[in-house]
Amino acid sequence: MNYRDIFSFRETTDEPRPFLDHLDDLRRLVIKIAIIVVVAMVGAFFFREYLASILQRPLFNVDPTRVGSLQSLGVADSMTVSLELSFYAGIIISFPILIFLIAQFLFPALHHAEKRLIVPVALFSFSLFLIGILFSYFVVLPETLDFFFRDAKAMHWTPMWTVRDYYSFTTQFLVAFGVAFEMPMVVLVLVKLGFLTAEALRKARAVAIVAIFTVAAFITPSPDLMTYLLMGGPMVILYEFCILLARWVEPQRNDSSYESDES
């Protein structure tokens, strides 16, 4: 298999395909994703100092003296942390392309008009992912770091964070928020496939809101009400947005199924 085969799109046919062909498609998809992430990771590695300073900023904004207290206990910590930062930065940079490739794999039988929507949907998904990261970076992460620092002080401990622990925590925290903000895209796919409806989302609204704020109560980094609302509020708004999104997708799905039945 040459490099042109790796980056070629799947040919869509209405005829059933053997199981091994689907495995070959999956293998190509994995190869594409690996190549794209590695290339983005290598490019991000050259900006590792800039990436490190970006993740230090929330801690610096809380207290400038705390940045200097980060300790490097391992000989290869500078390289280990740089590789970790480059990996997560590579995923964020290549996220729209990855969504596009995954959509091409999961929905090979889309009509021409629907295929043209893949790029806007990929950009919309990336926008949600980026909004989640930025919201966490500017609003939630500084409060979280300040809470854990003060909580350690309340336990009569001296907070001496290592660079490995700090950067692992912050990168995973930011990416987790980005993934959480992908909920509308998950709903869009489930509605498109017929596994979920707007009516089901409306009926489960009360249970969903209680569940969202219950989870937020457990993971809220600070006991104050404002931080609690900052954790649960956006997820409730996203849930309401998912209901509107499901209403918009359902008529299209019903119309297309009706036309297929008529034919």
Confidence (pLDDT) at 17: 53
Question: Could you tell me if 137 and 170 are in contact, meaning their C-beta atoms sit under 8 angstroms apart?
Answer: no
- The Cα 7–Cα 29 span in angstroms is 9
Q: Which amino acid is at 189?
A: V
Q: DSSP letter string over 53-71?
A: HHHHHHHHHH-HHHHTT-B
Q: Are 211 and 218 in contact (CB under 8 A)?
A: no
Instruction: List all residues 6 or more positions away from 157 whose beta carbon is below 8 Å from its beta carbon.
Output: none
| Structure-block tokens of residue 215 | 């989870």
Cα 250 from Cα 41, distance rounded (Å): 38
pLDDT value at residue 24: 79
Query: Looking at residue 263, what is its pLDDT?
Result: 46
Cβ–Cβ < 8 Å for 58, 137: yes
pLDDT score recorded for residue 237:
87
- Cα within 13 Å of Cα(214), Cβ side: 6
Give the pLDDT of residue 198. Answer: 85
pTM of the shown model:
0.76
pLDDT lower than 70: segments of the chain: 1-22, 107-115, 218-224, 226-227, 251-263
